[in-house]
């Protein structure tokens, strides 16, 4: 009986408590094409003076307006909000322009994977206030087309809702819309949510879980624990070269994220021999270092990846 009480009453209350204390609520409706998005952002405290994203946002975002109808201009990477406004909600439309040619070389990018799944860089479409204490946390909920799942770097509350920490706007992050449900594993108390985009010929999703788990155990063994409690892992296929993981990078926007491009016909043994995932994971043993000193930023993870394997 007691257990039933906790399940029925306490869990929804927890979610509601998280929801109530978030100063920003986003509602995001994703269209069937996974490119057209309608965003509503409502503020429970003072209206911020600006909402920002990256400097390409003006080519994806349109029709920015207050709920009462007053329109707002996008200025390069930001929208200025007039202080006199009484409306608490800013609405806008997004039409993403995903890349689908060539292969990714840099950080977070909006891109179609195998004509089916969608990677989005949050900087392309999510307008946010600067990360100051007043707007530290937000609650975001997605309305997805039937059968489409969402992966985000924030803390999951339900299949389509998250509580996020408002990290600096210039920190990259990924939200992915995908046709298969993410997998979750826990290693030494840290949660890894693994989203597999596109098709792989040999490695199964159980193989991918095993690979992530083994790499996380190796990194945990160096410190006694994994350096982050929660990690978003995204795996997408690559046809580019013969190396097992031709490209990978981490993101810190909203939380820890790792995006790996894996050779489409890689098998589990090749994955377990590859150093890329332990390397990316070991980046999280250090804070974000904003510097051109790559000997420091890359040298330490390159050393640690070998110790962990």
Chain contacts with Zn ion (rule: CB under 5 A): 298, 301
| Minimum CB–partner distance for residue 19 and Zn ion (Å) | 36
| Closer to Zn ion by Cβ: residue 43 or 226 | 226
R_g of the chain computed on alpha carbons = 20
Cβ density class 82-105: b for 16+ within 10 Å, e for less: eeeeebbebbbbbebebeeeeebe
| Closer to Zn ion by Cβ: residue 39 or 277 | 277
| Minimum CB–partner distance for residue 299 and Zn ion (Å) | 9
| Minimum CB–partner distance for residue 92 and Zn ion (Å) | 35
DSSP track, 196-210? E-S--SS--HHHHHH
| Closer to Zn ion by Cβ: residue 37 or 245 | 245
Q: What angle do CA 16, 19, 23 make, to 5 degrees?
A: 150
| Closer to Zn ion by Cβ: residue 32 or 298 | 298
| Minimum CB–partner distance for residue 282 and Zn ion (Å) | 8
Q: How many other CB atoms are there within 10 angstroms of residue 175's CB atom? A: 29
| Minimum CB–partner distance for residue 101 and Zn ion (Å) | 26
Q: How many other CB atoms are there within 10 angstroms of residue 77's CB atom? A: 18
| Minimum CB–partner distance for residue 252 and Zn ion (Å) | 13
| Closer to Zn ion by Cβ: residue 154 or 249 | 249
Q: Please check whether residue 61 is in contact with residue 94, taking contact to mean a CB–CB distance below 8 angstroms.
A: yes
Closest CA to 124 of 76, 77, 54: 54
| Closer to Zn ion by Cβ: residue 48 or 278 | 278
**Contacting residues for 14 by C-beta, under 8 A, at least 6 apart:** none
Q: Please check whether residue 207 is in contact with residue 267, taking contact to mean a CB–CB distance below 8 angstroms.
A: yes
């Amino acid at each position: 009986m007691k257990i039933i009480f906790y399940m029925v009453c306490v869990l929804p209350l927890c979610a509601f408590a998280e929801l109530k204390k978030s100063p920003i609520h986003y509602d995001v409706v994703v269209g069937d094409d996974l490119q057209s998005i309608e965003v509503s952002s409502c503020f429970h405290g003072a209206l911020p003076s600006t909402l920002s994203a990256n400097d390409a946002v003006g080519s994806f975002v349109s029709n920015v307006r207050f709920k009462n109808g007053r329109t707002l201009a996008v200025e390069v990477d930001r929208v200025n909000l007039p202080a006199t406004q009484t409306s608490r909600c800013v609405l806008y439309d997004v039409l993403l322009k995903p890349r689908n040619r060539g292969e990714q070389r840099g950080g977070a990018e909006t891109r179609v994977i195998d004509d089916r799944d969608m990677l989005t860089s949050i900087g392309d479409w999510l307008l946010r206030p600067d990360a100051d204490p007043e707007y530290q946390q937000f609650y975001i909920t997605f309305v997805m087309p039937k059968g489409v799942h969402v992966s985000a770097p924030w803390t999951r509350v339900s299949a389509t809702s998250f509580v996020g920490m408002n990290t600096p706007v210039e920190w990259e992050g990924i939200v992915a819309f995908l046709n298969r449900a993410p997998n979750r594993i826990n290693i030494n108390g840290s949660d890894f949510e693994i989203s597999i985009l596109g098709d792989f010929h040999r490695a199964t999703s159980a193989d991918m879980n095993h690979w992530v788990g083994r790499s996380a155990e190796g990194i945990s063994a160096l410190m006694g624990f994994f350096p982050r409690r929660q990690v978003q892992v995204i795996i997408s296929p690559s046809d580019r070269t013969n190396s097992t993981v031709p490209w990978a990078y981490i993101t810190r926007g909203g939380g820890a994220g790792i995006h790996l491009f894996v050779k489409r016909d890689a098998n589990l043994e090749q994955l377990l021999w590859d150093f890329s995932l332990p390397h990316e994971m070991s980046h999280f043993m250090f804070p974000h270092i904003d510097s051109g000193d790559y000997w420091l930023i890359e040298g330490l993870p390159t050393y640690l990846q070998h110790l962990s394997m």
